[in-house]
Structure 1
Amino acid sequence: MPSLLEVTTHFFLQVAIILVTCRLLWPVFRRLGQVQVVAIMAAGFALGPSLLGWAWPSAQEWLFPTTLTVGTATITHPNLTAIYVVGQLGLVLYMFLVGASFKLEILQSHLGKAGATSAAGIGLPLVLGGLVGVWMVGQGGYFTSKVGTWQGGLFVAAAIAITAFPMLAWIIYASGLLNTRLGTMSLSCAAVDDACAWVLLATVVATTKDTMFGAFLAIGGGLAFLIFMTLVARRFLARLNTWTPRDGDSERAGGLPVVPLTIVLLVVLVSSWFTDYVGIYSVFGAFVAGTVMPRGALLNLIRERFEPLVAYLLLPAFFIYSGLNTKLSLIFDAKVLLVAAVVLVVSFAGKFGAIGLVARWQGMSWREAGAMGALANARGLMELILLNIGLTAGLITGQLYTILALMTIVTTFVATPVMRMFERSGWKNGVVFGPSGEERRTTESRSLTD
């Protein structure tokens, strides 16, 4: 068993390797029209058994050990636990920052359109995913004996219907779409779709334990949390903008007053704990905490100080953890490759078609509707979270994990280039995506490759 010093020393090396890999991959992915989060996701898989483990197995196993043998027992390696915890902290803080940047007024002005597109974005993919899941259960080899036919259908339905809210938030932010109708509605749809997917996952996990308590707790606890934060917590947190230090209280952390900063962090962490406890995952609690925070100088300063540390130091650890569970060698079989191809086609076409067509029916232009359909396929983070839960709960096999992880990589990779294809089409016609939809371009805007 390694000592605490050995775990810490090796962890520092792991983080350094992660950072170097991310920086080396970013120029390549930038030329491919991607945003940095996609390069970070790719770095996670590159350092896992699928690439580094294939090219140099001994180095990969030494750098990122996953298990440890103690006597006759095999346990999770302490360094893998450290990577997991740091990655979860990065996710929570990142989702808080996304929520703190969310423009609720834009959502309120387009609430009807957001509701219709959310329903389409979850409805059709759920049906298609359910059918594929039932078929996969019949094929055998993708689910464990704990999972029945309808449970397997629900699991794949959730996996196909999900949109990675954190991943999408990064893409929208990096693409300059955060304050546009396209960006706001895409994030709103992702939030609804992810919430539904987590309820389905909670149902599957609960029923494999012969109880529905987990599903009821997820629904009831999630609604109670949302109501409390919106109606009660928001009013008390509004006082942060009027906080003044007492006499002699001059403590500041990097320009931030310590007392308000501590309150904000407590709200984020407790919200994350509660939503994790009820079964709808910590990222939703962190996001809601960000949306109810009072806008002003304090929140702007927190975002400015926290964003670089969270995005480029803490968050990459999550992708490394997911990459270590993905083994592409498991799908190098004609039958399994066919299943992977079916899952990939159904996943992309279901999301793109359903959201794109309904968005167009709701009055969006073809360019904006197409861009929204493309963004809905950014599954990254949330899909990997779902897969990790399914794997650790003993519901799915390594083959299904790898198939869905591969689908996640491909659909997330194509989301940004397809969106930018529609965006460039608008630029050629002198329009950009704005708060009310397509607007005439009046000033020079950002580069589309930023």
Structure 2
Amino acid sequence: MHSTHATAHLAATTDKNLELVLHVLPAIVVILAASALCGRLALMVKQPRVLGEMVAGVLLGPTLFGALFPSIQKAIFTPEVKPILYVLSTIGLTVFMFLVGAGLDHGGGAGKKDTKNAAVLAVSGIVPSLLLGAAYLLYDKLSRPDVSSFQFALFIGGALSITAFPMLARILYERRLENSRLGRMTLLGASIDDAAAWCFLAVLSAMHTGAGAMHVLRMIGFTALFALVMLTVVARLLRPLGAKVERTGHFGFDQMYIIVGIVLVAGLFTDYIGIYSVFGGFIAGLAMPRNPAFRAALHSRMMDIVCVLLLPIFFAFSGLNTELGGIAGWGMIGPLLLILAAGFVGKYAGCALAMRGVGFSWRESWAVGGLMNARGLMILIFINIGLAQGMITKEVFSMLVLVAVITTAGAMPLYRWAMPERLEQRMSPPTPEPKAASGSTAPEPEPVHA
């Protein structure tokens, strides 16, 4: 009798799991189809693919798909499917941020003067976004009642200060400018900007828990300890692995198990202490060996599946939370335009004036200002964390999604306007590309998304 009951329970569980799979797979197929189509359209109009994928996510939400075919949209993105999409997107973001950290050349290449100028550039991209006052003006209208005006302003300012670092790196790599003085300084400045934004978010997450100053200090302490251990102890332990890949050109399954395990454990730990798994992934990436062959193999093995499968799921999940209809009308259009203006002026003009101040030409300065103003995937990660933790409303989330799309779309036209190809070629250093390790056919790693 007991055996019969257990068998029936197992059969029912199996049927339920199969039904869930039959709901999740069509949702993923729809997401990938929309992302592929919109990504291709973006490339046709000389925009980065990620912009099309961001737009695809918004279109799959209530803004278009849900408005035109509400019953079909609800049948595809059922309440049971959404948690699965959330888990997949979180894993994708954690691994993506790991690859961003692993691809960040923080070990050198820039002299003291370049480092100082990069710090000036970074500050010029952060401070104006915090001081323009848009967040304080909109606090009473847009903020949640349990969020203070300081927290609200810090969140909006942090979101607007973000630069799409991987996209910026990709543009400079494609144009062979990553080793130029302008390229090195811009990449370093953008990395400082993004690191500061993640620090803002970590502090805000701690403050928003309402657990008191001791809890905030404890969280910050655990985060600092985690980063210290990863960047010293773990990084040191991984050096032989990087040297072996550099020497043999072989990156096998054994190495992949180690790397993926470190990423997931790092994400789990940072999630546990309350600062979201993407931070753990990013710090784990910074701890990776800096050997060119190791980085090339890592990116060639992991980046494509993350960008083709997992990140489109994240864009779709973001789109399901984006209700542009809710910000229609002058009551919300005004605040949207104010936030957009604050973000654009603060980042574009602030960074351009800083570049001019440290000796670059006006054309170079405006080109960098345009690139630094792109926010891409990075701001979507930032605001999704804010929405999940209850720091912003859905209206503010939707506005910042629009800011992300508009500023990302404007980056390349602004860059091309300021830096025609003939001038760009003069800046490109004549040095050849570094060769990969013997036996390795993987190309030099390039951040390819966001």
Q: Does residue 327 of structure 2 align to residue 331 of structure 1?
A: yes
Task: Write out aligned runs for 1:31-110 (5 A).
Answer: 31-65=44-78, 77-103=79-105, 104-107=107-110, 110=114
* Residues 363, 241 of structure 1: alpha-carbon distance in 2 compared, 3 angstrom cutoff: same
Higher helix share: 2
- For 2:224, the equivalent position in structure 1 comes to 223
Residue 118 of structure 2 aligns to which amino acid in structure 1?
A
Contact 1:356/1:369 (CA < 8 Å) preserved in 2?
yes
For the residues of structure 2 that align with 1:322 and 1:125, how far apart are their CA atoms?
Answer: 23
Tell me by how many angstroms 1:213 deviates.
4.5
- For 1:247, the equivalent position in structure 2 comes to none
The alignment partner of 1:145 has SS state of coil
Q: Deviations over 1:218-258 (max 9, x none)?
A: 543443333333333222211114559xxxxxxxxxx7423
Tell me by how many angstroms 1:434 deviates.
4.7
Residue 44 of structure 2 aligns to which amino acid in structure 1?
R
Task: Write out aligned runs for 1:427-442 (5 A).
Answer: 427-428=422-423, 430-434=425-429
Task: Write out aligned runs for 1:278-289 (5 A).
Answer: 278-289=273-284
- For 2:377, the equivalent position in structure 1 comes to 381
Q: Does residue 26 of structure 2 align to residue 13 of structure 1?
A: yes
Greater displacement, 335-344 / 408-417: 408-417
Greater displacement, 308-317 / 187-196: 187-196
Q: Deviations over 1:357-394 (max 9, x none)?
A: 11222233333322221122222323223322332333
The alignment partner of 2:108 has SS state of helix
Contact 1:37/1:171 (CA < 8 Å) preserved in 2?
no
Higher strand share: 1
Contact 1:217/1:279 (CA < 8 Å) preserved in 2?
no
- For 2:391, the equivalent position in structure 1 comes to 395
C-alpha RMSD of the superposition:
3.0
For the residues of structure 2 that align with 1:414 and 1:148, how far apart are their CA atoms?
Answer: 32
For the residues of structure 2 that align with 1:27 and 1:34, how far apart are their CA atoms?
Answer: 9
Q: Does residue 415 of structure 2 align to residue 419 of structure 1?
A: yes
Tell me by how many angstroms 1:101 deviates.
2.9
Contact 1:158/1:200 (CA < 8 Å) preserved in 2?
yes
For the residues of structure 2 that align with 1:101 and 1:265, how far apart are their CA atoms?
Answer: 16
Residue 188 of structure 2 aligns to which amino acid in structure 1?
S
For the residues of structure 2 that align with 1:37 and 1:176, how far apart are their CA atoms?
Answer: 21
The alignment partner of 2:336 has SS state of helix
- For 2:239, the equivalent position in structure 1 comes to 238
* Residues 434, 132 of structure 1: alpha-carbon distance in 2 compared, 3 angstrom cutoff: farther
Percent identical among aligned pairs is 36
Of 332, 338, 355, the residue aligned with 2:351 is 355
For the residues of structure 2 that align with 1:270 and 1:187, how far apart are their CA atoms?
Answer: 28
For the residues of structure 1 that align with 2:383 and 2:98, how far apart are their CA atoms?
Answer: 23
Residue 402 of structure 1 aligns to which amino acid in structure 2?
S
Tell me by how many angstroms 1:302 deviates.
2.8
* Residues 309, 395 of structure 1: alpha-carbon distance in 2 compared, 3 angstrom cutoff: closer
Unmatched tracts of structure 1, length 5 or more: 66-76, 245-254, 437-449
Tell me by how many angstroms 1:98 deviates.
2.9
Of 317, 340, 344, the residue aligned with 2:340 is 344
For the residues of structure 2 that align with 1:258 and 1:431, how far apart are their CA atoms?
Answer: 43
Normalization by structure 2: what TM-score? 0.82
Contact 1:162/1:379 (CA < 8 Å) preserved in 2?
yes
For the residues of structure 1 that align with 2:398 and 2:375, how far apart are their CA atoms?
Answer: 14
Contact 1:229/1:288 (CA < 8 Å) preserved in 2?
yes
For the residues of structure 1 that align with 2:271 and 2:283, how far apart are their CA atoms?
Answer: 13
Greater displacement, 102-111 / 169-178: 169-178
Tell me by how many angstroms 1:172 deviates.
5.0
Q: Does residue 115 of structure 2 align to residue 111 of structure 1?
A: yes
Residue 101 of structure 2 aligns to which amino acid in structure 1?
G
The alignment partner of 1:97 has SS state of helix
Q: Deviations over 1:384-439 (max 9, x none)?
A: 2332233233333222221222112111221222223333x252574244599xxx
Residue 333 of structure 2 aligns to which amino acid in structure 1?
L
Tell me by how many angstroms 1:323 deviates.
0.7
Q: Which structure 1 residue ranges, 4+ long, deviate > 6 Å from structure 2?
A: none
For the residues of structure 1 that align with 2:80 and 2:175, how far apart are their CA atoms?
Answer: 37
Contact 2:147/2:208 (CA < 8 Å) preserved in 1?
yes
Contact 1:48/1:324 (CA < 8 Å) preserved in 2?
yes
